[in-house]
Amino acid sequence: MSATPTGPRLSFLTPAYRTEAYLADTIASVLRQTDPAVELVVVDNGNSDEIRDIGMSFAAHDARVRLVRQENRGYRGGVT
């Protein structure tokens, strides 16, 4: 990630619950943005092993991706 004194210029939040089929494409789409000073926070809102694996496979190679795991807290819990 391009380091700036205040952090990324743009942050994306992606709540993920039963979205395993779409998550890799979603992450790849964000990482294709032309501005390198972005971050993507993927919230695994249900502790899915598959979502963890997908998120970590991207995070291991790109510091702009962060994975947050939690028990399912419903829609509000995934975005707050």
Identity of the amino acid at 23: L
pTM score = 0.84
* Residue showing tokens 């991706």: 65
pLDDT at residue number 3: 52
Which tens digit of pLDDT belongs to each residue from 11-52?
999 999 999 999 999 999 999 998 889 999 999 999 899 999
Assess whether pLDDT exceeds 90 at residue 76: no
7 confidence band (pLDDT: 50, 70, 90): confident
Q: What are phi and psi of 18, to 5 degrees?
A: 60, 40
Q: How far apart are CA 65 and CA 12, in angstroms?
A: 10
pLDDT at residue number 4: 55
